[in-house]
């Protein structure tokens, strides 16, 4: 019988979890940004292999904060850990372990037998993998450790091999050609958010959200989709729109170009910037966006 496992990817913000997920799946599953906490949902990526199938769940960066938005993200991480067979703990080798790393290790102490630790970014000139090893060894000696570079795809085969060694026997949950189970509307919204963050990251690091409104598919196969880009203040709206609509146009065009690579039908977007000062504190809004 083949092996099969659900694997939660956990780590500090900007540890490279989404880059790793995309590299393992061989396609863009999770959006990537230099802005911490870009990932806001449990994103699934699927790797099919002669040995079986691994279903990865990319979780938001584990961040110590009492704000409602961050607590919601942390709850999502906790829920993901309880729902999976294995845990892939990604540590950024370019940063010295701190309070968040201590908190994650404390969370995973009882999970060491089903945890694989990926010490990431070893290609970076500032990487200090031995410092990470010194931090991890006395705390989680049972956990398997592998040094990797998600960006350069270094040692990913060894990482998959280790995960399959720990994976239980089980059925293939998805067809082998599938690399994600995300709904198209969700994927489109995430690509829009990635481009919005890219073009406003200095001014609007966490104030942006994207909300789906409606979509229709024409007889010629073109999908027309309308999304709102939410900001928190009136002063932020012109930053996203840009002079004579230049920024919002660039966001739309770049998102449509990426979507052309992801779907076998054209996607045309209609984007509107909407001010919602309470979206990060509104439980109903957060429940629609974070799941």
Q: Check which CATH number belongs to the domain holding 110 and give it.
A: 3.40.50.300
Quick check: is 270 in a domain? yes
Nearest alpha carbon to residue 76 among 48, 118, 44: 44
14 is in an annotated binding site: yes
62 is in an annotated binding site: yes
58 is in an annotated binding site: yes
127 shares a domain with 13: yes
138 shares a domain with 193: no
The two beta strands, 3-10 and 86-92, are: parallel
Quick check: is 155 in a domain? yes
Quick check: is 179 in a domain? no
16 is in an annotated binding site: yes
12 is in an annotated binding site: yes
276 is in an annotated binding site: no
Quick check: is 177 in a domain? no
60 is in an annotated binding site: yes
225 shares a domain with 110: no
Quick check: is 175 in a domain? no
Nearest alpha carbon to residue 32 among 45, 46, 20: 20
221 shares a domain with 194: yes
Distance CA 124, CA 108 (A): 26
15 is in an annotated binding site: yes
192 shares a domain with 162: no
Quick check: is 120 in a domain? yes
121 shares a domain with 64: yes
242 shares a domain with 111: no
Q: What is the pTM of this model?
A: 0.74
245 is in an annotated binding site: no
110 is in an annotated binding site: no
Last residue of a domain, one of 166, 197, 221: 166
13 is in an annotated binding site: yes
11 is in an annotated binding site: yes
43 shares a domain with 122: yes
72 is in an annotated binding site: no
Burial 4-24 (b: 16+ CB within 10 A, else e): bbbbbbbbbbbbbbbbbbbbb
- Give every strand in the sheet of 223-231, ordered side by side: 209-217, 223-231, 267-275
Quick check: is 136 in a domain? yes
For 214-226, the DSSP string reads EEEE-TTSPEEEE
23 shares a domain with 150: yes
7 shares a domain with 133: yes
Task: From first to last of the 291 residues of the chain, give the pLDDT tens digit.
Answer: 899 999 999 988 889 998 999 899 988 777 564 444 444 455 678 999 999 999 998 777 665 555 655 555 556 666 767 778 999 999 999 999 988 899 889 888 888 999 999 999 999 999 999 999 999 999 999 899 999 999 999 999 999 999 999 999 999 988 888 888 888 888 899 899 889 988 887 666 567 889 999 999 999 999 999 999 999 889 999 999 999 999 999 999 999 999 998 888 999 999 999 998 877 777 676 666 554
234 shares a domain with 116: no
61 is in an annotated binding site: yes
CATH of the domain at 235: 3.30.300.20
How many domains does the chain divide into?
Answer: 2
200 is in an annotated binding site: no
134 shares a domain with 254: no
123 is in an annotated binding site: yes
Last residue of a domain, one of 131, 166, 201: 166
* Residue 228 belongs to domain spanning: 184-289
Quick check: is 173 in a domain? no
């Amino acid at each position: 019988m083949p092996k099969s496992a659900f694997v939660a990817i956990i780590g500090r913000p900007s540890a490279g979890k989404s880059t790793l997920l995309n590299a393992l799946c061989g396609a863009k599953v999770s959006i990537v940004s230099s802005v911490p906490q870009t990932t806001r949902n449990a994103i699934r990526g699927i790797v099919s292999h002669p040995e079986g199938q691994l279903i990865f769940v990319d979780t938001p960066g584990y961040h110590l904060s009492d704000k409602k938005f961050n607590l919601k993200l942390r709850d999502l991480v906790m829920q993901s850990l309880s729902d999976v067979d294995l845990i892939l703990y990604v540590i950024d080798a370019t940063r010295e372990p701190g309070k968040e790393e201590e908190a994650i290790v404390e969370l995973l102490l009882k999970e060491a037998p089903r945890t694989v630790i990926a010490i990431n970014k070893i290609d970076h000139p500032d990487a200090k993998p031995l410092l990470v090893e010194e931090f991890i060894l006395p705390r989680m000696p049972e956990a398997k450790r592998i040094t990797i570079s998600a960006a350069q795809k270094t040692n990913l085969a060894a990482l998959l091999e280790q995960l399959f060694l720990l994976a239980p026997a089980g059925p293939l949950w998805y067809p082998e050609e599938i690399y994600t189970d995300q709904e198209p509307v969700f994927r489109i919204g995430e690509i829009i958010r990635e481009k919005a963050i890219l073009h406003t990251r200095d001014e609007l690091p966490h104030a942006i959200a994207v909300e789906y409104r409606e979509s229709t598919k024409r007889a010629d196969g073109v999908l027309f989709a309308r999304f709102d880009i939410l900001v928190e203040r009136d002063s932020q709206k012109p930053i996203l729109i840009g002079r004579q609509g230049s920024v919002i146009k660039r966001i739309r065009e770049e998102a449509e170009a990426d979507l052309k690579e992801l779907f076998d039908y054209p996607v045309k977007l209609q984007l509107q910037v909407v001010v919602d000062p309470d979206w990060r504190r509104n439980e109903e809004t957060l429940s629609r966006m974070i799941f």
